[in-house]
Structures are given as C-alpha cells and as structure tokens.
Structure 1
Amino acid sequence: MTLAAFLGAVAVDAALAADFAAICDTGGRLQGTDSAARGFVLLQDRMAAIGAVRDAPVPYAGWRCHEARVTDIATGRDMACAPLLGAASTPAEGLVLDTRDCGRGVAGDFDAAAGQAVLARHEYPFASWTVHRRVKLAAAQAAGAAAFLIVQPEPGVGAVSGSSGRNGGAGIPALGISAEAGALLAEGRRVRITLAGEDHAATTPTLVLDLPGGGPDRVVLSAHLDGHPLGESAIDNATGLAAALCLARAAAPVVAACPRGLTLCIFGAEEWALSGSRAWLAGLSDDARARMAVNINLDSIAGGARLTALTSGFAALGPFLRGAAAAAGLPLGVHLPLMRNSDHANFADHGIPAARLVAGFDEPGSALRYLLTGADTRVLVPMQELKAATITAAALLWAALTAPDEAMARLRGAA
C-alpha cells in the first residue's frame, strides 16, 4: 500500500464520526466511575472488531470525593467548585481561612501565603510559556498555604477541574473554582473550605491491541480514555480515541507487510498524573520496551487550527515527523522540550522516542481553553477538523511503520 492509499482509507472511514459520538455519549469518564467503565467497554468492543485485544490492568492511587464546598462566610454563598483529583481532605467541619490572591502563581507569588487559602490562575495548558497546575500547587504547599484554589479565567463555564498529583501522599485541600468565584475571593474574603475525600487502592484497565509487522519492533499508538465529570471530555480525549481506532482499522490489513508492527494502547488514569501508562510501562520487560521504536500519543487533536508534535527532547523526532506530514502535503508544528502533559512523557522517561500530537499549541484563543470544564463537549469539535487531524496522524503513523530501520534508530538521540 502507498501513503496515498493509506490516507485515502482513513479519509473514507465513516466510523470516525460514529466512534467520536459514541465515546462522548459515555459521559466525562472520570476514572473509577460508571462513565469510565462504559467507555472502556465501548473501546474494547471497537478494538476487538479489529483484532485480538487484551486488558492489562494496572494499579493507581484511587480516590473518591464525598463532599467539596467553598463557602463565602460573609454571605453564606457556596461557590462553584470542583475538587482536584486526589486532593487532601479537610477536617470534617472544614477549614475557615482567609483568601489571598497570588496572581499567576509562579515562583515567589506564594511567599506570604502561609496559613491561607491561596488563589492562582489556571493557564492555557498548551503553550511554551505554560506553568502547570501541579507545579503551582506544589509551590503553594511548600510555602505553607493551608488550601489551594485554582481559578478558571474564562467566565461562564463554571469551575475548572484537574489532578492534584497527590497520589495518596501528603497534600493540602485543592479545588478548582470558576472565574466568577475567583473574582469575588480575590478581594480577600473569609471562606470555609470543606473537602471530604477517600483514598483507596484501585486499578485501571489498559487495553492493548497488537498487530505484528515484518519485524519484532512496534510503533506504539496511544490515547487515554479517562477524563473529568464536567462535560463529555470531548476534545480531551474523545478526539484522540476516535482517531486511534480509525488508524488501527486502516493499518490492520497492511501492517504485516511493514517493517514494524503496530501496538494500540488505550490508557486509563492519565488525568491522575499519568499514573496508568507509567505503571504499565514499568511492568514491561526491558526487551519489550526496547522493541518500541516510537510512541505517537493522540491527545486533544481537534479544537484548534494547527497541529503540533511535542517531541519530548528527542532532537531527530521533530524533523522526522514534520517530514512525514510534508510528504502528505500537510503542515505540522514541532515543540522540542519535554512537556509532562500526557502519556508520551512516560515513554520518553524510558528512552523511547515519544511525541504527543495536540491541537491549538500556542493558540490560547482556541477551543482547547475549555478543557477541564463543563464546556468540553462535542459541540466544540467540527467533524471536518477531527478528520483532518486524523489524516495528519495517519501520515505520521505510516512513516513510523514503513521507514528504514536506520532512520528509526536515529530517533533515539536526545537533544
């Protein structure tokens, strides 16, 4: 099969739209909920129609929230809020604290934060200048803050969610709040924060579909299934899931004739500080990891006008992927430094060349600004945009499946 024929097979796959809608229908897919369970059943069924699929469950630090409230003492008003996944609990009666606006929440902003409920701004997640939420939370905790509130800057969409990254360890109560709540609390208010969470041991499915090629090496195509309860987790990450299924369907009839095979991995607990893929990779043998030629991670691939490959510090990977896109007449941006914002980071940690394909990089006005909110629904994803992104991903996948071994070996060199 030629590149043009492979891209053509992807372009005419009518199941792409149906899969995307069906995944959104399962809901926000918060790990550990019925919504996520429905999502994994759906993906397993779709993958089984392509080839033999297995579930390799892995542990993660589970957590469930029974109550989360931020109450303005003066008015008795409860603010719109969402607990950060895995956040530390308050005493049963809550914590009464003064709020302190710490602005963006970067180095030095929390210097006078001890004993207070600090506010920091949620940032557009896909930009070269972004400071991640967990970095801000760690800085607030180190400065002695008693609680952490991250403010969604976009009005009208409610609270922002996300992970605390605590994973059962030490921490402070941490919640996302709406732009409107942030505007009130930034004035300096007295609040009662109540967060009742429960840590527990948990496992997440890892769905694996392996399609052998002509040699022992594999291209690992990955996407995460879990999301957040606010909305449908449509951009993040029904887009990546639907595209991954489409690419596996197109590759299945032809991959045996390629120099390397394809392994499709659907991970859970990605929103829990990348816990699912980290545990799965750690459980593999050194030889199995050595056979992974490259990881192409599809996460939030629609919702913005441009696609960018985040290439994890592998200097040769960006030119390789950009060349693959150019061979199909398609543009592709490249960002070289490692960004720990999806499962590709765990592959990179094992020395496996890894890239995340993402839409809207350095485009803060794109629809990706609605991620982690109730606005992340299917209405944000024009189907022509998802199809175009899937075709670009197909060009990258085809190059990885068919390139000479010496070209793939060169990808392992780090910057």
Structure 2
Amino acid sequence: MHAFLGRLAADPGLRADFEALCDFGGRVQGTPATEAAFAWALGRMREIGPAVNEPVPYQGWTARRSAVSLPDGVALPHVPLFGSAPTGPEGVTLDVLDLGRGAPDDVAAAGEAVRGKAVLLGHEYPFAPWTIHRRFKLAAAAEAGAAACLMVQPEPGIGPVSGGANGLAVPCFGIGIEVARRIAGRRVHLALEAEAGPATSPTLVLDLPGGGEGRVVLSSHLDGHPLGESAMDNATGVVAALALARAVAPSLAECRRGLTVCIFGAEEWALSGSKTWLAEMDPARRGRFRFNLNLDSIAGHPRLTALTSGFPALGPFVRRAAEAIGAEVAIHLPFMRNSDHANFADHGIPALRLIAGFDAPEGVLRHLLTGADTRAVVPPGELKAAALTAAAILWASLTAGDEELSSFGASRGAGT
C-alpha cells in the first residue's frame, strides 16, 4: 500500500486533470463540450490501460428556448430543469404561489390553492439525513395540480439552481431567491420550448486484471449542469478515480482482485447511465463485481462520509481502511439513491458513495447545481486528502479476503 499511496501523493496529474476537466464547463449530457470531455477522459484512461467506451441509451432532452419574465416583459434569471415539459411556443402566464420549503406536506396543506398555479418550492442542501429531495417536491406539486414549478435557490447573490425534473408533466425552472421574492404573489410569464428523445451516453471502462477473477469497481460520473464548472460535482470524483487508477496499476498483480474503472454519463438524469449499463450486462460479468467505490463530490468540505447503502459491515471496513493512514470517515448506513452506487446496490453488489460535507450545510457544497460550483472553491490540499482516503479504501477492497468481501452483501439489512 505504501508504494501505491506514494505514487498517488506525488502525482501532479490530480490537480492538472481537475483544471483540464473544469475547462470544459458544466458538462451537460448531450452537449458538444461534454462529448469533448468524455473524449479527453478516455484518452487519459488509455494512458493507463486498454480503456473502451460502452455507450448506453437514455432519454435525452434539449431546451431550445426558455423564458421567465414579468407580464410587462422584464426578463428574469433562470434555468430550465432537465426533462421538463414544454409550455408551447406562446408560453403561459400564471399566478405565483409561494409554498416555502415545498415539502409534500406543505403542498398538501395548500390544498386547492395549488391548482393551476406556478408554485415556488425551496431548494435545500442535498446531502443530509433530513433532506427532502427535489423530485419528491416536484412530484407532489404536479400531482396537486400545479401548472408549473420553480425551485428556489435560497442564498442571495448565487443566482438560480439547476437540477432534473425527470420527465415531470409540467414545466419546471430553477431561480434564485431574488427572483422568488420579486414574483411571489404576482403573475409570471413562463416559456419553454424543449424536446425529448432517445439519446446515447458514453460509459468509459478500464479493466485492469489483478491476482484473481473478481473485480472492484471504482466509479464516478462526468456529466454535470449548465451553471458553473460542475467542479465539486463531479470533476473531483473523476480526476480522483483517474489518479487512483494510475497509482494502483503497477501494484495490482499483488492484489486478490482486479480493478474496473467506470466513468459514467447521464448520472444527472436519474442515474440512467449506470442503471442501463448494469441492467444490460452479461450476468456472468456483473457477477465478478465484488464491491463498488463510487467517488462523487469528494471535496468542498474537509469531512468525508461513506454512504454505505444499507450494508452494515461496510462501515467498520471503511473506518479501518481510513484509520490505516490516519484518516477519518463518517458512516451513513441508510440507503440513499443519490449517485451511481445505488444501481450497484440494487444488484446486491456492496457499494458506497464517498462524499464530502455530508450533513454540513454550512460548507461550500451548498452551492452545488449553481454557478458557484467552480474550481475556485476546491483547495488542492482538500482534493488530495480526499483522494488519499479513497485510495486507502480502494486498497483494502482490492486486498481483503474473499470471505470478508462476500460477507458484505449477505449482511445487507433493513437500512435499505
């Protein structure tokens, strides 16, 4: 392990790759810039070994034109949410109802007042046990008869928030708190011309043999959002996965199992990329996957947490691995469907997401999905420390006994 960690600590490519990936911008799936970013990542993987692209289908969506404006025509800053239903070319003018946090209980309490309105729903810190995810708020509002939904980013000076509407049958937009205050209780004009249709997402795969037939899957997602540089979410995870693969490759022959590195797309589209890749895979190949370490938003706060997907034995395993290098990792056992690890867990493969800033809403990860998610908020030392902790977990999973690793899946409990 010491040689592996030494190579990783000395690797200048970690920060250089981070800067290069951020240069592609927000990396919205299906855009030319994102295709170029995937080509760049595939080239970096091929410097390590025989990487390939295994593309998968997903339901794509493209916004042609969008507008949020006052009835007198004054345009307001906004962003359409992925997968939103269009309004038609003329748009719609609606009364605006402020539902505060916008939890399903808030929607229910408003009763018939929701019907036919454009409703304001509060965006909240996405990584905490108390979080109510955007999809639940949007779904509740649509089911109650809302004619449109606007997710409100609550911090002044940051601007609108992005995200997915995941095929909801009403138009959905992200706005900032300043816009929300301006339109609450008034009328607003909304327009969205968009089209959905079959599309294809890259899945970059690098398979590196080890001392046995099994594989540890090291994963991250490259796609992001139109605002900022998608730096924390998830340039941090992609470049760490590349650095770990470079550093561990010379040592894999002494490991009990090999390494499969996966860089997914369409993660921001309801985890579609990894879901389809795993579902359409030959079961024999999938059966060789012993463990998934998913790196997603691993910098932005100095504290790391492993979301262990309801696998109780993973927590002690991760803590021991981190302690071996003097690091600490908090554990959150209940299953959270917020990144690609969830699709591995659905197939019974022990899986965790390593994330920074869990239950720390004061940290800069509160700016995910906004224009403030840029390279400037990721200190080099924080990214390197997170990569080294991930490396310790990776090494433990590559070298653990078969009996220990197989026991993780057998112990999955009610936390799912």
TM-score by length of 2: 0.96
Aligned positions of 1:59-138 closer than 5 A: 59-73=57-71, 75-111=72-108, 112=111, 113-138=114-139
SS in 2 for 1:78: coil
Q: Which residue of 1 aligns with 2:235?
A: 238
* Counterpart check, 1:37 vs 2:35: yes
Q: CA deviation at 1:177?
A: 0.5
Paired letter, 1:399: A
Aligned positions of 1:225-304 closer than 5 A: 225-304=222-301
Q: Which residue of 2 aligns with 1:223?
A: 220
Paired letter, 1:144: G
Paired letter, 1:42: W
Q: Which residue of 2 aligns with 1:193?
A: 190
Q: Distance in 1 between matches of 2:121 and 2:315?
A: 33
Q: Which residue of 2 aligns with 1:179?
A: 177
What's the CA shift string for 1:379-406, capped at 9, x where partnerless? 0100000000000000000000000111
What's the CA shift string for 1:180-204, capped at 9, x where partnerless? 1112223x11111101111121001
Q: CA deviation at 1:216?
A: 1.1
* Counterpart check, 1:389 vs 2:386: yes
Q: Distance in 2 between matches of 1:209 and 1:201?
A: 26
Q: Distance in 1 between matches of 2:394 and 2:176?
A: 39
- 8 Å contact kept, 2:78–2:160: yes
Q: Which residue of 2 aligns with 1:27?
A: 25
Q: CA deviation at 1:243?
A: 0.3
The match for 1:58 among 35, 39, 56 is: 56
What's the CA shift string for 1:1-43, capped at 9, x where partnerless? xx22222221111111111110011111110111101110110
- 8 Å contact kept, 1:211–1:256: no
Paired letter, 2:298: I
Give the number of equivalent residue pairs: 408
- 8 Å contact kept, 2:4–2:251: no
- 8 Å contact kept, 1:15–1:246: yes
- 8 Å contact kept, 1:224–1:270: yes
Greater Cα offset, 232-241 or 6-15: 6-15
Q: Distance in 1 between matches of 2:74 and 2:334?
A: 43
Paired letter, 1:23: L
Aligned positions of 1:255-404 closer than 5 A: 255-404=252-401
Q: Structure 1: which 4+ aligned runs deviate by more than 4 Å?
A: none
Q: CA deviation at 1:328?
A: 1.4
SS in 2 for 1:99: strand
Q: Distance in 1 between matches of 2:319 and 2:100?
A: 37
SS in 2 for 1:356: strand
Q: Distance in 2 between matches of 1:368 and 1:80?
A: 22
Q: CA deviation at 1:127?
A: 0.8
Q: Distance in 2 between matches of 1:54 and 1:68?
A: 37
- 8 Å contact kept, 1:220–1:292: yes
Paired letter, 2:41: L
Q: Distance in 2 between matches of 1:110 and 1:353?
A: 36
Q: Which residue of 2 aligns with 1:146?
A: 147
What's the CA shift string for 1:75-112, capped at 9, x where partnerless? 43222111110110012211111111111111221133
Q: Distance in 1 between matches of 2:107 and 2:54?
A: 42
Paired letter, 1:92: P
TM-score by length of 1: 0.97
Q: Which residue of 1 aligns with 2:16?
A: 18
Paired letter, 2:22: C
What's the CA shift string for 1:155-209, capped at 9, x where partnerless? 112110011111xxx51101100111112223x1111110111112100110000
SS in 1 for 2:285: helix
Structure 1: 5+ residue stretches without partners = none
Q: CA deviation at 1:213?
A: 1.1
Paired letter, 2:337: R
- 8 Å contact kept, 1:305–1:366: no
Q: Distance in 2 between matches of 1:375 and 1:40?
A: 23
* Counterpart check, 1:406 vs 2:403: yes
Q: CA deviation at 1:144?
A: 1.0
- 8 Å contact kept, 2:319–2:328: yes
SS in 1 for 2:15: helix
Q: CA deviation at 1:256?
A: 2.1
- 8 Å contact kept, 1:106–1:136: yes
Q: Distance in 1 between matches of 2:350 and 2:44?
A: 27
